[in-house]
Amino acid sequence: MQVSVETTEGLERRLSIAVDAQTIDEEIKQAVRDIAKRERMPGFRPGKVPASVVQKRYGAAIEADVKDKAMQRHFYEAVIQEKLTPAGAPTLEVGEIKDGQFHFSATFEVFPEIELNDFAALEIEKVSSEVVDSDVDDMVETLRKQRVNWSETTEDALEEGDRATFDFVGKIDGEEFEGGKSEGFSLEIGSGRMIPGFEDGLKTHKAGEQFTIKVTFPEDYHAENLKGKEAEFDITLTKVEKPELPEVDAEFIKQFGIESGELADLRAELRKNMERELKQKLRSDSKEQVLDKLLEANEIIVPSALVKNEVEQLRKQAMERFGGQVDQKNLPNLPDELFSEQAERRVKVGLLLGEVIKVNELQADDEKVQEHLKEIASAYEQPEQVIEYYNNNKEMKENLSNVVLEEQAVDLILDKAKVTDVTKAFDEIMNK
């Protein structure tokens, strides 16, 4: 087998391969004989169809199949011989038979050669935080707001925190515009759902009143025809409701699975959950920051084949989320452009982390894998069953090991980077 390698552009390589044509010819003849033995054809006994008849009927297809298999086989032999690492399937092109040699070419991309820059030059903020009593107080208040009761009033004017139900008709230069009309629209004042000035225009009015408010659409409004336009909305306020927060009593507390009905037990459970979520968020944010810095410090070219594969994965995930129970045939065809940037980033991160792991000979620490598994399981009612499920499922455990291995690589980078310790409040981290 004769092989020559050509660099065409970037990571693309073209192999020109020549193999003994007689070998290919023998493989074609053998394939014809094999088919003749099992072919059933009118006028011939089973297994007695002449090779010449098979050749006449199926010759072109057999030749194409044999050549395709031969090209695949010799391609992989060639990349091993030339010590190349393909980053995707090759494009194979049949050439000519010349001087007793069958010629073909294979075009493909290779993985980039990566030389990691010194991690000591990376500047990273290491954020720490803790859950304090006031954070738990806020969470209890959030739970009360989630179970708020609304009391209708005809006497009190609308104010911050109230809920309004109203009809509206929007006009620009006296003409109604598309999407500017609704009946029975419900809005909690202070939610920020409407354009600036709209909610303020509703305040101080009572149920049953009709009035007009004037607003200006933001310059960055999503509808092109409304950007920066002045508008008037005719309002009919049909209902005003005041919030009534529930008392934090035993009945309220038991709604959250605290059978004792004791506030101290609720607060203890909330703190435990908040601390788990905070730990996960700190770890996630830290990893994201390290990866951003790693990308900034190490510019690499990525194989388009890998990016294309990642785009397909992201598209599939999006379709699954978007589809739900909708007929797949009715789903829109999501273009590559929606996913290309994220896909390229994920490929770069994967290659760079892979190099960190390889260079430093990292392996997933089984003790850390089990610690991570316990943390995941702690969010479930029966954590022992979750742990057993993961440990008995090879694929799930392998995925978990890969996550832990990535975190070990991130920790290694953090240990070598220039780290500045920063303390932030729970709310600042969780709600950013």
- The mean pLDDT value for 71-87 works out to 94
Can you read off the two tokens belonging to residue 372? 């991570």
42 lies in some domain: yes
The pLDDT value recorded for residue 47 is 73
Q: Is 361 in the same domain as 293?
A: yes
Contacts (Cβ under 8 Å, ≥6 apart) of 269: 256, 257, 258
The pLDDT value recorded for residue 324 is 54
d(CA 40, CA 401): 53
Mean pLDDT of the chain: 92
Q: Is 74 in the same domain as 194?
A: no
The pLDDT value recorded for residue 174 is 94
pLDDT, one tens digit per residue, over 387-431 is: 999 999 999 999 999 999 999 999 999 999 999 999 999 999 998
**C-beta separation of 372 from 404 below 8 A:** yes
Q: Is 211 in the same domain as 279?
A: no
**Would you say residue 5 has pLDDT above 80?**
yes
251 lies in some domain: no
The pLDDT value recorded for residue 399 is 93
pLDDT, one tens digit per residue, over 272-316 is: 999 999 999 999 999 999 999 999 999 999 999 999 999 999 988
Q: Is 265 in the same domain as 408?
A: yes
Structural domain ending residue among the three candidates 209, 244, 279: 244
The pLDDT value recorded for residue 333 is 75
164-199 CB burial, b ≥16 within 10 A, e <16: bbbebbbeeeeeebeebeeeeeebbbeeeebeeebb
The pLDDT value recorded for residue 58 is 84
Which has more confidence, 325 or 292? 292
The pLDDT value recorded for residue 331 is 56
122 lies in some domain: no
The pLDDT value recorded for residue 362 is 95
Count up the domains in the chain and report the number.
3
Provide the percentage of residues in the chain whose pLDDT is more than 70.
Answer: 97
Q: Is 279 in the same domain as 391?
A: yes
Task: Tell me whether strands 175-188 and 163-172 are parallel, antiparallel or unpaired.
Answer: antiparallel
**Would you say residue 326 has pLDDT above 60?**
no
| pLDDT confidence bin for 332, thresholds 50/70/90 | low
The pLDDT value recorded for residue 428 is 95
121 lies in some domain: no
Which of 65-79, 159-173, 226-240, 313-327 is predicted least confidently? 313-327
Q: Is 158 in the same domain as 82?
A: no
**Would you say residue 330 has pLDDT above 80?**
no
Q: Is 213 in the same domain as 273?
A: no
- The mean pLDDT value for 208-216 works out to 96
119 lies in some domain: no
Beta bridge partners of 318: none
d(CA 10, CA 6): 11
Which has more confidence, 412 or 58? 412
d(CA 177, CA 170): 7
The pLDDT value recorded for residue 327 is 54
Can you read off the two tokens belonging to residue 72? 């695949």
237 CB-contact burial (10 Å; exposed 0-12 / middle 13-18 / buried 19+): buried
Q: Is 226 in the same domain as 359?
A: no
Q: Is 290 in the same domain as 426?
A: yes
Region of residue 47 (phi > 0: left; psi between -120 and 50: alpha; otherwise: beta): left
Where residue 370 sits, what CATH number does that domain have?
Answer: 1.10.3120
Structural domain ending residue among the three candidates 244, 272, 303: 244
Which of 6-10, 30-34, 350-354 is predicted least confidently? 30-34
Where residue 232 sits, what CATH number does that domain have?
Answer: 3.10.50.40
**C-beta separation of 414 from 122 below 8 A:** no
Expressed as residue numbers, the domain containing 391 is 261-326+334-431
| pLDDT confidence bin for 129, thresholds 50/70/90 | very high
Structural domain ending residue among the three candidates 46, 78, 109: 109
- The mean pLDDT value for 325-351 works out to 81
> Helix crossing, 383-392 with 394-416: angle to 10°?
100
38 lies in some domain: yes
**Would you say residue 368 has pLDDT above 70?**
yes
Q: Is 233 in the same domain as 345?
A: no
Q: Is 275 in the same domain as 419?
A: yes
**Would you say residue 329 has pLDDT above 60?**
no
| pLDDT confidence bin for 323, thresholds 50/70/90 | low
Q: Is 276 in the same domain as 320?
A: yes
Q: Measured between alpha carbons, how far is residue 89 from residues 105, 300, 306 in Å?
A: 13, 21, 10
Provide the percentage of residues in the chain whose pLDDT is more than 90.
Answer: 81
